[in-house]
Amino acid sequence: MRGEGQEIGQTADRVIERLRAIRTARGISQAGLAAQVGMARSVLSTAETGGRARGLTLVEALALCAALDVDLARLLDPAPYEVPTGTITV
């Protein structure tokens, strides 16, 4: 069971890292994205810096994906991901 929890944590970290890369590549501020999805900027900031227990809820992650027009399933994939707006690979 411990291994499964670690894998879930790594997946959550990967999704947050990719969402942050997409947000920054598009020049969107934390405050701007958070406002777009009705989330406090502090929630997004804390998730991006790893301070919140396992990052974001599924609903929050889905809202961020919708706002950034990205597919959550693609962000969950362990294969390298090229940010749609540039050449950043995460």
pLDDT tens for each residue of 25-50: 999 999 999 999 999 999 999 988 88
In terms of pLDDT, which residue wins out, 7 or 67? 67
Q: pTM for the whole thing? A: 0.78
Q: Which two tokens stand for residue 24?
A: 């920054």
Confidence class for position 90, pLDDT limits 50, 70, 90: very low
- Which domains are delineated in the chain? 2-76 (1.10.260.40)
CA 17, 58, 79, 52 torsion: positive or negative?
positive
Percent of the chain with pLDDT over 90: 37
CA terminus-to-terminus distance, the chain: 27
* Per-residue pLDDT at 56: 83
1 has a pLDDT exceeding 70: no
What single-letter amino acid sits at 3?
A: G
The answer to whether the CB of 76 falls within 8 A of the CB of 65 is no
